[in-house]
Amino acid sequence: MIISLSGAPGSGKSTIAKMLAAKLDWPRYYIGGLRRERAQKRGLTLAEYNKLGENDPVTDQEVDEYQRELGQKEDNFIIEGRTSWYFIPHSLKIYLDVSLEEGAKRIFGSLQQKNDRNEDKKLDSVEAVIESNKKRIESDNVRYYKYYGIDVYNPKNYDFYLDTTNLTPEEVFQSVYDFVKSSLDNRKK
């Protein structure tokens, strides 16, 4: 089974993907990390790289083709990316949502703890993160609709939807894990 995790910025995708990978003892692939690496190689922030992608499909196609190939060659892994569900259609598709404000608070808190991420240096307040997230979502919508005709933020594209706004990471993990375990058990029958 392949589990694809997607969702809103700050919804807990990375935290839950790491926890699931540890619990299942499966590898985890992080598409956002690949995009950040590619942006950094070009001397760009992730926001700048996403903006470039609005007119240059190569910025998305590189990682999207990687996802497609991974889904054809491997099994039993976690993949975290906004388009993973689309490029690995046979995956178990999980979407985590969060309010714009709570997602921004989480991201801002994370940025305060680590300064090595290839993020816009102007993210110096929760309000700045909210504005950045709005632009990111808008850019994602432009790119993914333009190149693939999809809306990665539409919960109807997923097998499981969870709003994490008022939940702890442990509560989110338990809900997601219960769904995954049930799906694994059903496949064994």
pLDDT digits (tens, 9 = 90+) for 140-152: 899 899 999 999 9
Residue 100 has pLDDT above 90, yes or no: yes
* Predicted TM-score of the model (pTM): 0.86
Q: What is the CATH number of domain 2-157?
A: 3.40.50.300
53 touches 136 (CB < 8 A): no
When pLDDT is cut at 50, 70 and 90, the band that residue 115 belongs to is low
Residue 170 has pLDDT above 50, yes or no: yes
pLDDT, mean of residues 36-50: 84
Domain boundaries, the chain: 2-157
d(CA 108, CA 133): 11
Angle CA 78–40–63, to nearest 5: 40
% of the chain beyond a pLDDT of 90: 61
